[in-house]
Structures are given as structure tokens and as C-alpha cells.
Amino acid sequence: MKSFIAAVVVAAIVAFGASIVLNDFFQKPVEVAFSTSGVRL
């Protein structure tokens, strides 16, 4: 049971860290992501 709780805590920490990294570094606003001459926003 102790190892299961540790695994749940580690999974939660990894998920939180991944959400921080993905939101801060990989997402772009739509104006930046689709800024070609063929797209009108």
C-alpha cells in the first residue's frame, strides 16, 4: 500500500510538472501558430 501511495504522488507531481512545461513553452496563440499568407483570422 505504501508503494501505491508513493506512485500516485509521483504521478501527480509529474503531471503537474508536465502541464507547467507544456503551457509555458509549447503553446502559441492562434495568431502566431497560423500566421501564413493563406490564413485570415
How far apart CA 33 and CA 9 sit, in angstroms, is 35
pLDDT score for 38: 67
How far apart CA 9 and CA 15 sit, in angstroms, is 10
Q: Residues with Cβ < 8 Å from 34, sequence gap 6 or more? A: 41
pLDDT score for 7: 97
pLDDT score for 24: 77
Query: What would the pLDDT profile of 1-41 be if each residue is shown by its tens digit?
Result: 999 999 999 999 999 999 988 887 777 777 766 666 665 55
Instruction: Supply 21's cell numbers.
Output: 512545461
Find, among 27, 4, 23, the residue nearest to 15 by Cα.
Answer: 23
Q: Is the entire prediction scored with pTM above 0.95? A: no
pLDDT score for 40: 58
Within the chain, residue ranges assigned H as helices are 2-21, 30-33
